[in-house]
Structure 1
Amino acid sequence: MSVLVTGANGFVGRAICMRAAATGLAVQAATRAAADLPSVGPSVAVGAVDESTCWQAALAGCSAVVHLAARAHIMRDVAADPLLEFRHVNVDGTLNLARQAAAARVRRFVFISSVKVNGEATQPGQPFGADDAPAPQDAYGVSKMEAEQGLRELAARTGMEVVIIRPPLVYGPGVKANFATMVRWLQRGVPLPLGAVNNQRSLVSLDNLVDLIITCLTHPAAANQTFMVSDGQDVSTTELLRSMGQALAANNQGHPARLLPVPAALLKAVAALLGKGDVVQRLCGSLQVDIVKTRELLGWAPLVTLDEGLRRVLLETYDETSF
């Protein structure tokens, strides 16, 4: 099988290319610019991803596509019309690729969507499921939902199989953003007012996400299905920070977490006054996903536990010079 991987130079894309090649799949990597091309298999620079991108060269000989290229979620989006900007890439760009893939007789199209299609938060013990009604709360989530809808319609018209995967926060070697910020806090021994957060959050290690994507390329039962993915073990922010601190301290890369038991309600009130309510919501709110369908329909289970995933990323990636 020959697989086109879009966004092949990204955090997940590089891991997919390496894992796919290691399992014997022929990989065709696509990125925006030639300088970004990974070294695994043939590569094609396609330029900007939008409704006019030509994918002919990238799709040549491919029987499957893993579509990762997207306009990523942006915390402080300064675009005049964020939804319009997200639609150009995440909806128009995705459907343009999918139409060309169907015309090129690609058998299966694996689309990496987002848990944000389901919403921003859950009540503890009430996780999002793959077949729940979508309820996106921001422009990024809306664009991913619209891309999903368009792909399902295209699959019904053309017979090309579509698989949709909605990951929550992904972590692994090379991860940046909020996860890297938490590591930096722990490495520097910064006291954090997060010792009394009783939320529940699902995460997925890069290893587990990549394994599910590879599974979905060939598993017969994956065709035209939507799947949630996680490590299968939900944690509170307090538990996560403690586990991260222990892993860093065990390898002399940081300190055990110094967590102050400040009530979450107080944190939220102060954050609201400072205009940081969205940040504290991610730290104190719950967001869980249900992977029962993924397990049962595909016979899939996470390759690594949360603790092992954290150990790998913390011990293999971070030192103070990496920030």
Structure 2
Amino acid sequence: MKTTITGASGFVGQNLSRYLEENGVEVDRLSLRNPAWELAETDAVIHLAGKAHDTKNTSEESEYFKINTDLTNKLFDGFLKSNAKDFIYFSSVKAAADTVDGILDETCKSDPQTAYGKSKLQAEEHLLKQNLPEGKRLFIIRPCMIHGPGNKGNLNLLYKVVEKGIPWPLAAFENKRSFLSIDNLNFLIEKMLISELPSGIYNFADDNPVSTNRLVTLIAEASGKKPKLYKISVKSVMSMAKLGDKLKLPLNSERLKKLTESYVVSNQKIKTALKIENLPLSAEEGLIKTIKSFKSKR
């Protein structure tokens, strides 16, 4: 089997490419940065390339639609004209909702509030409206926060805070969040490629959510430190975050939301379709693996 992957130089792309090759899949890395790109002969297209959500809010909204929507549509047009069987589009749970009340599954009505989420949803809607020839499949993947060894982002930021012995001041926020380890992502994609899975939208997440307070504890334990969980009043913390918005400080409203909101994503649809009871790694096992990778780089 031959698979074409866009965005192969990114964190997910590098890991997924290596995993598939180790499991006997030939991988063609297609860069869409080259205006003259062409879709070569392949069995499946995995579209990872895109503009990620900018938590500093410095990006022009048009950039999201140019890259996440227009470029995706162009690539899909090439797929429809090709002999490839599968098109896997990596969208995002943010195409469905920026905040979640309860558990997010594939039946929830989409209502994104950011340009990032809206651009992802517009691409989804365009792809779903196209006439899919017989023998072809379209998978729209909505992953939640992806992490793994080599990953940068909020997990790494949180690790630095805890590893330095700085008390976690947000313990007053009670939440649960879904995560997705790169190992579980790789496992699911490989299973999809060799399965008879029908076209559709599928959420990707680890089996169980984890609270931020529990995550802080895991980081502390992996670092050989005692967890320091301080419960500063929610009102005071939110005031500090608003000040961070104005002064461009590390703690701003967007980052506070990411660190403290509840965002639980159901993965039951994909597991049921693939006849999987549990993913290879539990949420905590995956997080510990990522956390230990931060420590090993010191």
Q: TM-score over 0.5 for the alignment?
A: yes
Unaligned runs of 5+ in 1: 32-45, 250-254
Determine helix, strand or coil for the equivalent of 2:242. Answer: helix
Partner of 2:49: 69
Length-normalised TM-score, structure 2 = 0.91
Q: Kindly state the Cα deviation for residue 277 of structure 1 after the two structures are TM-superposed.
A: 2.1
Q: What is the match of residue 15 of structure 2?
A: 15
Cα distance between partner residues in 1 of 2:79 and 2:168: 49
**Counterpart residue number, 1:185:** 161
Structure 1 partner of 2:290: 313
Instruction: Please list every run of at least 4 consecutive aligned residues from structure 1 whose deviation after the TM superposition is greater than 6 angstroms.
Output: none
Return the offset for 1:273: 4.5
Aligned AA for 1:256?
A: K
Q: CA RMSD in A?
A: 1.8
Mapped partners of 1:290, 1:189: distance in 2? 34
1:262 paired residue among 224, 227, 232: 232
5 Å-filtered alignment, 1:34-113, equals 46-48=32-34, 53-56=35-38, 59-79=39-59, 82-113=60-91
Q: Secondary structure at the match of 2:139?
A: strand
In structure 2, C-alpha distance between the alignment counterparts of 1:108 and 1:84, rounded to whole Å: 29
> Conserved in 2, the CA contact under 8 Å of 1:13 and 1:68?
yes
Q: In the alignment, residue 164 of structure 2 is paired with which amino acid?
A: R
**How many residues in Structure 1 have an aligned counterpart in Structure 2?**
290
Are 1:129 and 1:289, in contact at CA under 8 Å, matched by a contact in 2? yes
Partner of 2:248: none
How many angstroms does 1:319 deviate by? 4.6
Q: Would the aligned equivalents of 1:191 and 1:259 in 2 still touch at CA under 8 Å?
A: yes
**Aligned pair partner of 1:226 in 174, 186, 201:** 201
Corresponding residue number in structure 1 for 2:221: 246
Residue matched to 1:131: 107
Please say if residues 141 and 202 of structure 2, whose CA atoms lie closer than 8 Å, have aligned partners that are also in contact.
yes
Give SS of 1:3's match: strand
Which of 100, 106, 130 is the equivalent residue of 1:122? 100
Residues in 1 aligned to 2:235 and 2:196: alpha-carbon distance in whole angstroms: 47
The alignment-based identity, stated in percent, is 28
Contact kept, 8 Å, 2:163 with 2:219, in 1: the verdict is no
Q: Secondary structure at the match of 2:223?
A: helix
Distance 1:306 1:164 in 2: 23
Report which structure shows greater RCO (CA 8 Å, sep ≥6): 2
2: CA distance, partners of 1:54 / 1:112: 22
Kindly state the Cα deviation for residue 28 of structure 1 after the two structures are TM-superposed.
Answer: 0.7
Structure 2 counterpart SS, 1:163: strand
